[in-house]
Amino acid sequence: MVTKTLMVDVVKRSKKIAVEIDAGRFERLAAVFGMFNPGFLKSLARAETDYRTGRTRHVRSLKELR
């Protein structure tokens, strides 16, 4: 039996995309992208502390980062 591995729903005239993936495949994808790397996990912890202390800024577009 063939199972769906990834379902993408694109809404026309909208800037939103919905992606559905099961937990097992998501863990495999996260491992491929290195999301279980200790350096990445430390950077997430730093980002969370920055967010809690208010050291963030709102970006509406990637063009603002230039």
pLDDT in tens, 8-21: 777 777 777 788 88
Residue 33 lies in a domain: yes
Is there a domain that residue 2 lies in? Answer: no
Residue 18 in domain: yes
Provide the number of structural domains found in the chain. Answer: 1
64 lies in some domain = no
pLDDT digits (tens, 9 = 90+) for 4-62: 567 777 777 777 778 888 888 888 888 999 888 999 999 999 999 999 999 988 888 88
Q: How far apart are CA 58 and CA 56, in angstroms?
A: 7
Its domain, for residue 14, covers: 7-56
Residue 4's pLDDT is 59
pLDDT computed for residue 26 by the predictor = 86
Which among 28, 6, 29 is positioned nearest to 18, based on CA atoms?
6
Report if pTM > 0.75. Answer: no
Inside any domain, residue 23: yes
C-beta separation of 8 from 18 below 8 A: yes
Residue 63 domain flag: no
